[in-house]
Structure 1
Amino acid sequence: MLHYLLPIVIPLGSMMVPLVVILWIRRLRKSRRSPLTAQLLRSPGEELSKQIDEINENMDANFTFLSFTPLMCYTMYLSTRIWGDGTTGWLHFVVPCIFFMAFFSWKLAAGIKIRENLRLGLDCERAVGQELNHLMLDGFRVFHDFPADNFNIDHIVVGATGVFAVETKGRSKPVKGDVKIVYDGQGVQFPTHYEREPVEQAKRQADWC
């Protein structure tokens, strides 16, 4: 009896172990409480960093499902060969296997695209934040990733000359050639397109401040 169960138990066990580990890590993170009682100042792009961590966790789960989908389908096929009547063909398992592999591959590709956009924004917010931090030598106070009403302000600079809300936008540039960006008072002209929304967003956040 054991030699009949091994072809099924081994694939199922190898698939369940990483899933259990992922769920255990997520539960462990939620069960711990920080020893800090005071809220710390936020670092540049802190909210984006949290979003990237969440996407990475989802991508790990999707990659696990993608890797073990063929094993799962093969296990189901073996079970029908061992305990079934032999009428179920391999095509009944290949088609669902291809479907689920395509689905998890699509989820992974979408996650990678979103993560790369968030990383670009995070790098740019950190770069701007590091430059703004130099103003503290001149007596300014600088706050990053400031939580407002259902949105965050990337940077706030407070000094004797006023309070400034700074919005950071990161856009990738062509591999070759110089890049020139023009601000016309209403929007920003990039080499390939024109954007007005970042300027309007910055004005709304300045009004909120």
Structure 2
Amino acid sequence: MNASLGMLLPAAVIFVLAIVPVGIVVATLLFLRRMDSQGKRRSPLTDKLLHQAGAQARRRVESLNSDIMERTMLVAMIGPIIMLSLLLPRVRWSELHFGWSGWVISIATALWVAWLAWRIATLAQERRKWRDGMRAEIASAQQLDRLQAQDCLVLHDIPAEKSNLDHVVIGPTAVFMVETKSRRKSGTGKASATAAYDGSAIQFPGWAETKPLDQARAQARWLSEYLRGETGEPTPVIPVICLPGWFVQPPPERQQGDVRVINPKLGYVFTDARSRPRMDAARRNRIVHALHKRYPQSPD
């Protein structure tokens, strides 16, 4: 009995090391997909997003990248698979015994597979956050671009000192630094996607945040200092936070504090002159030129 067990154990270990990693990866991906579809929070975006320039070509490039990666992985696996197919039938299982080195390799392999499965799970969650953020930025950009018909100049994804500015709107009377934030809602209906802003914090259903306000203020200060250095003129910048898909209360004209928190559909925030003097065309062009300098050179 012990001899039979000694013969079967190495074979079982080899079989497990060959089959289980694939099973773990597949199970992890299926679990993540199920959790994503049945999650307690969902995106508040309900409007259809228009295609960006080159959208079809970009999707085709991403599809080709996936195909190339898949086939590259298959090429890398062909050699080991063929080698195992040729060698395993020739193994004398009765003479195969595991020493301490075999067990060390087996345990290390199992731990490595577990770590890789955990990394896949964390990367999948990170990808979901980036995907939500990307869709939110596109939603904001498509609403802000409509302001160009109202004498506004709009730029997106501008490299700053340590981060990127999601959007900058040069309105008829002021410059706005616009930060888009993506937040998932926990329920259905308008109430689940309503946020309250009191000038010091954004109150979502079930939690409150102040960090986005601090971030918007810091980015607006940086942009103001940068434009002053580039144009030689003091250029105040108004910080704005866009929450696509959210109803924000109170409306911007009744909000307190230096940061405006809005749904990007409320474009009048950027065209309302109030008591601000109108900027002449030459000054606005100098601001746009300074912002264009932040973009990197196109690759050859």
Normalising to structure 2: TM-score of the pair? 0.42
Q: Equivalent residues in 2 for 1:117-196 (5 A)?
A: 117-177=129-189, 178-179=191-192, 180-196=194-210
Pairing partner for 2:98 from 62, 75, 88: 88
CA contact (8 A) 1:153 1:205 kept: yes
Query: Which protein has the bigger helix share?
Result: 1
Across the two proteins, how many residue pairs are aligned to each other?
147
Structure 1 portions without partners, runs of 5+: 1-10, 12-42, 44-48
CA contact (8 A) 1:80 1:88 kept: no
CA distance in 2, matches of 1:120, 1:157: 22
Match of 2:119, SS? Answer: helix
Structure 2 portions without partners, runs of 5+: 1-17, 19-51, 53-57, 224-300
CA distance in 2, matches of 1:154, 1:131: 13
CA distance in 2, matches of 1:79, 1:138: 76
Residues 1:79 and 1:165: Cα distance change in structure 2 (over 3 Å)? farther
Q: More displaced, 99-108 or 187-196?
A: 99-108
**Partner of residue 287, structure 2:** none
Alignment deviations for residues 148-196 of structure 1 (CA, whole Å, 9 cap, x no partner): 1111111000122111000111111114342220011011001011100
CA distance in 1, matches of 2:184, 2:91: 54
Alignment deviations for residues 86-131 of structure 1 (CA, whole Å, 9 cap, x no partner): 2227x83653443222111111101000000111111111101100
CA distance in 2, matches of 1:135, 1:123: 19
**Partner of residue 216, structure 2:** 202
**Partner of residue 30, structure 1:** none
The structure whose Rg is larger is 2
Structure 1 counterpart of 2:221, which letter?
A: D
CA distance in 2, matches of 1:152, 1:80: 59
Q: Equivalent residues in 2 for 1:9-88 (5 A)?
A: 75=84, 78=88, 81=91, 86-88=96-98
Match of 1:167, SS? Answer: strand
Match of 1:107, SS? Answer: helix
Match of 1:117, SS? Answer: helix
Residues 1:80 and 1:107: Cα distance change in structure 2 (over 3 Å)? farther
Percent of matched pairs sharing the same residue: 33
Normalising to structure 1: TM-score of the pair? 0.59
Compute the displacement of 1:134 (Å): 0.3
**Partner of residue 252, structure 2:** none
Structure 1 counterpart of 2:162, which letter?
A: N
Residues 1:170 and 1:87: Cα distance change in structure 2 (over 3 Å)? same
Match of 1:181, SS? Answer: strand
Compute the displacement of 1:206 (Å): 1.4
CA RMSD, aligned part only? 3.7
CA distance in 2, matches of 1:79, 1:164: 71
CA distance in 2, matches of 1:175, 1:106: 29
Residues 1:80 and 1:169: Cα distance change in structure 2 (over 3 Å)? farther
Residues 1:170 and 1:80: Cα distance change in structure 2 (over 3 Å)? farther
